[in-house]
Amino acid sequence: QVLLVESGGGSVLAGGSLRLSCTASGAFYNEHFGRFCMAWFRGDEREGVAAIYESDGSTWYDDSVKGRFTISQDKAKNTLYLEMNSLKPADTATYYCAADLCAVPYWRLGWDHLPDFGYRGQGTQVTVSS
């Protein structure tokens, strides 16, 4: 079992910042801790925006958020973060934390987008107004 709980969503004006958090827990997660790819997806289409490989901390970003969003992880707290700066109305969406076991992160295999991940949280809403 992998339980993912997001927090930190809200409403901001364009140009503002938000930080999302995701706490991971569960027997399966604890057993395989350190071998997951963790990611943030958004919207009905589940667009992958950022990911991190627990094993070595390598990261991936969608072109639409590069330079504005930063993904990070506090392993001691089992918590994933997404720091979002210079927010735009186009960033408005429900953001989902996700986890997937991966021996090699997808972006090292030549993927230019993230596939569906096996575990996903309930989501947190981010609204950016102009």
pLDDT tens-digit series, residues 42-77: 998 899 999 999 999 999 999 999 999 999 999 999
Whether 129 shows a pLDDT value over 90: the answer reads yes
What is the reported pLDDT for 17?
98
What is the reported pLDDT for 3?
97
Picking from 69, 83, 76, the residue whose alpha carbon sits closest to that of residue 54 is 76
What is the reported pLDDT for 110?
85
Across the range 81-108, mean pLDDT stands at: 96
